[in-house]
Structure 1
Amino acid sequence: MTEPSPAAAMPGGKPKSAGWLAHGGQTKTQPKIVIGMLAFAVMNVTTIVSLRGMPAQAEYGMASIFYYLFAAIVFLVPVALVAAELAATFPKQGGVFRWIGEAFGPRWGFAAIYYQWQAVVIWFPTVLIFAAAALAYIWWPPAFDQALADNKVYTITVLLAVYWLVTLVTFRGMAASTRLSWLGGLFGTIIPGAILIALGVAYVAAGKPMHLDLHASVIPDFSDFHNMVLAASVFLYFAGMEMQAVHVQDLKNPTRNYPLSVLIATVMVVVIFVLGTLAVGAVIPREAIDINRGLLVAYNELWAAFGLPWLGNVMAAMLAFGVLGQVSVIVAGPSTGLLAVGKAGYLPHVLQKTNTHGIPVAILILQGLLVTLLCVAFTVLPSVESAYQLLSQMATIIYLVMYVLLYVAAIRLRYTQPDRERPFRIPGGNVGMWLVGLLGLAGALVALGFSFIPPAQISTGSPVLYVGALVVGSAVFLAIPFVIYAFHKPDWKAADSDFEPFETAA
Structure 2
Amino acid sequence: MNSFRGKDDPLGVGGGHRRLTWALESVYNCICCPAPLSSFVHYVPVMVHSSSDLEAMDPAVLEAPYRKSSLLHRRPVHHRVMGTVSIAAVTYFFGCGGPLGSEPIISSTGPAIGLPAMVLYPLLVTGPYAYIVVELCCAFPEDGGFAIWVLNAFGPFWGFQVGYWSWMAGIFNTALLPGFLLQIFNDYYDVSIDSGVTSFCVKVVFALAFTLPSILGAKVTSRSCVVLLVCVLVPVVIFTAWAYSRARDYEDLIEIRHEGIEEYNGDNLQVGETAIDWALLLNTLFWKYDGINIASVFGGEVANPAGVYSRAVALTVVLTVLTYLVPMPAAIIVDDPNWTFFTRDSYPAIAESIGGPVLKALFVFSSCCSVVGLFISGIFCEAFQLAALFTIALLEVDFDDLLPMTNVFASAVQLLIMLAAISLRKQLPYIPRPTKVPGGKSTIAAFALLPTVMLCYIVVDAFSSITSALIILGFLVPGLAYGLDIDSVDTAVLDGDVPYRKSDGLPVHHRIMGITCVVAVTYFFGCGGPLGSEPIISSAGPAIGLPAILLYPLVVLGPYAFIVAELCCAFPEDGGFTVWVLNAFGPFWAFQVGYWSWVAGVFETALLPGFLLEILREYYGVSISSGIVSYGAKVAMALLFTIPCIVGTRVVSRMCVGLLVLVLLPVLVFTVWAYLHARDFGDLFELRHEFNVIDEDLGDDEQTGPLAIDWALLFNTLFWAFDGINMASVFGGEVSNPARVYPRAIAFTLLLTILTYLIPMPAAILVDDPNWTYFTRDSYPALADAIGGSVLKGFIVFSSCCSITGLFVSAIFCKSFQLSGMGDAQLLPSCFAWRNRRFDSPHVSIGTTALFTIALLGADFDVLLPMTNAFAGAVQLLIILAAIKLRKLLPYIPRPVRVPGGERTLVALAVLPTLVLCYIVFDTFRSLTSTLIVLVFLLPGVVYAIYNGHRNPALHN
TM norm structure 1: 0.75
Tell me what 2:783 maps to.
298
Task: Give the match's secondary structure for 1:375.
Answer: coil
Q: Distance in 2 between matches of 1:297 and 1:333?
A: 31
Q: Distance in 1 between matches of 2:581 and 2:309?
A: 29
Q: Distance in 1 between matches of 2:309 and 2:842?
A: 34
> 4-13 vs 48-57, which deviates more?
4-13
1:45 to 301, 309, 318: 318
C-alpha distance 320-74 of structure 1, shift in aligned 2 (>3 A): same
The answer to whether structure 1 residue 371 and structure 2 residue 842 are counterparts is: no
How far off is 1:419 after superposition? 4.5
Q: Distance in 1 between matches of 2:96 and 2:303?
A: 26
2:775 to 285, 289, 303: 289
Tell me what 2:917 maps to.
444
How far off is 1:199 after superposition? 1.9
1:193 to 661, 667, 671: 667
Q: Distance in 1 between matches of 2:633 and 2:97?
A: 21
2:943 to 479, 483, 499: 483
1:61 to 541, 547, 551: 541
C-alpha distance 341-329 of structure 1, shift in aligned 2 (>3 A): same
> 391-400 vs 229-238, which deviates more?
229-238
How far off is 1:436 after superposition? 0.5
The answer to whether structure 1 residue 413 and structure 2 residue 896 are counterparts is: no
CA contact (8 A) 1:4 1:323 kept: no
Q: Distance in 1 between matches of 2:585 and 2:671?
A: 45
How far off is 1:164 after superposition? 2.5
How far off is 1:227 after superposition? 4.7
CA contact (8 A) 2:568 2:576 kept: yes
Q: Distance in 1 between matches of 2:682 and 2:611?
A: 24
C-alpha distance 9-484 of structure 1, shift in aligned 2 (>3 A): farther
How far off is 1:135 after superposition? 1.7
C-alpha distance 216-134 of structure 1, shift in aligned 2 (>3 A): same
1:229 to 675, 692, 713: 713
Q: Distance in 2 between matches of 1:219 and 1:416?
A: 50
Q: Distance in 1 between matches of 2:706 and 2:593?
A: 32
Q: Distance in 2 between matches of 1:27 and 1:271?
A: 30
2:719 aligned partner, one-letter code: F
C-alpha distance 344-426 of structure 1, shift in aligned 2 (>3 A): closer
How far off is 1:7 after superposition? 6.0
Q: Deviations over 1:323-342 (max 9, x none)?
A: 22442343233213312322
2:873 to 397, 400, 411: 400
Q: Distance in 1 between matches of 2:557 and 2:871?
A: 17
Q: Distance in 1 between matches of 2:874 and 2:824?
A: 24
1:445 aligned partner, one-letter code: C
Task: Give the match's secondary structure for 2:861.
Answer: helix
> 31-40 vs 82-91, which deviates more?
31-40
C-alpha distance 108-95 of structure 1, shift in aligned 2 (>3 A): same
Tell me what 2:450 maps to.
none
CA contact (8 A) 1:41 1:264 kept: yes
How far off is 1:134 after superposition? 2.2
Q: Distance in 2 between matches of 1:265 and 1:348?
A: 32
CA contact (8 A) 1:354 1:361 kept: yes
2:554 aligned partner, one-letter code: I
1:284 aligned partner, one-letter code: P
Q: Distance in 1 between matches of 2:616 and 2:548?
A: 30
Q: Distance in 1 between matches of 2:814 and 2:313?
A: 21
Within 5 Å, which residues of 2 pair with 1:137-156? Answer: 137-139=618-620, 148=623, 156=631
C-alpha distance 264-116 of structure 1, shift in aligned 2 (>3 A): closer
> 403-412 vs 357-366, which deviates more?
357-366
Within 5 Å, which residues of 2 pair with 1:89-100? Answer: 89-91=570-572, 94-100=575-581
CA contact (8 A) 1:40 1:261 kept: yes
CA contact (8 A) 2:603 2:864 kept: yes
Q: Distance in 1 between matches of 2:861 and 2:750?
A: 27
TM norm structure 2: 0.42
Q: Distance in 2 between matches of 1:433 and 1:341?
A: 26
CA contact (8 A) 2:604 2:868 kept: yes
Q: Distance in 2 between matches of 1:342 and 1:355?
A: 15
How far off is 1:374 after superposition? 2.3
Alpha-carbon RMSD across the aligned residues, in angstroms, is 4.2
2:530 aligned partner, one-letter code: L
Tell me what 2:686 maps to.
216
2:667 aligned partner, one-letter code: G
Task: Give the match's secondary structure for 1:370.
Answer: helix
C-alpha distance 137-317 of structure 1, shift in aligned 2 (>3 A): farther
1:56 aligned partner, one-letter code: P
CA contact (8 A) 2:310 2:740 kept: yes
> 332-341 vs 397-406, which deviates more?
332-341
C-alpha distance 218-433 of structure 1, shift in aligned 2 (>3 A): farther
Q: Distance in 2 between matches of 1:419 and 1:222?
A: 55
Q: Distance in 2 between matches of 1:263 and 1:340?
A: 24
Q: Distance in 2 between matches of 1:101 and 1:41?
A: 25
CA contact (8 A) 1:13 1:239 kept: no
How far off is 1:191 after superposition? 0.7
CA contact (8 A) 1:66 1:219 kept: no
C-alpha distance 212-166 of structure 1, shift in aligned 2 (>3 A): farther
Tell me what 1:278 maps to.
762
CA contact (8 A) 2:725 2:750 kept: no
1:114 aligned partner, one-letter code: Y
Within 5 Å, which residues of 2 pair with 1:175-194? Answer: 175-187=650-662, 189-194=663-668
How far off is 1:239 after superposition? 1.9
Q: Distance in 2 between matches of 1:150 and 1:203?
A: 37
CA contact (8 A) 2:581 2:593 kept: yes
Tell me what 1:337 maps to.
818
1:164 aligned partner, one-letter code: L
Q: Distance in 1 between matches of 2:813 and 2:752?
A: 29
Q: Distance in 1 between matches of 2:758 and 2:722?
A: 13
Larger Rg: 2
C-alpha distance 169-133 of structure 1, shift in aligned 2 (>3 A): same
1:367 aligned partner, one-letter code: T
Query: Share of identical aligned residues, percent?
Result: 17
Q: Distance in 1 between matches of 2:893 and 2:647?
A: 42
CA contact (8 A) 1:20 1:243 kept: no
1:116 to 594, 597, 611: 597
How far off is 1:400 after superposition? 0.7
C-alpha distance 483-412 of structure 1, shift in aligned 2 (>3 A): same
How far off is 1:110 after superposition? 1.5
Q: Distance in 2 between matches of 1:172 and 1:262?
A: 25
The answer to whether structure 1 residue 241 and structure 2 residue 324 are counterparts is: no
How far off is 1:349 after superposition? 5.7
2:564 aligned partner, one-letter code: A
Q: How many residues align?
A: 452
Task: Give the match's secondary structure for 2:685.
Answer: coil
How far off is 1:163 after superposition? 0.8
Tell me what 2:931 maps to.
471
Q: Distance in 2 between matches of 1:61 and 1:225?
A: 8
Q: Deviations over 1:101-141 (max 9, x none)?
A: 111101111211222222111001222222112222443xx
C-alpha distance 316-149 of structure 1, shift in aligned 2 (>3 A): farther
Q: Distance in 2 between matches of 1:39 and 1:372?
A: 28
Q: Which runs of 5+ in 1 are unaligned?
A: 379-386, 454-466, 494-500
Q: Distance in 2 between matches of 1:263 and 1:231?
A: 22
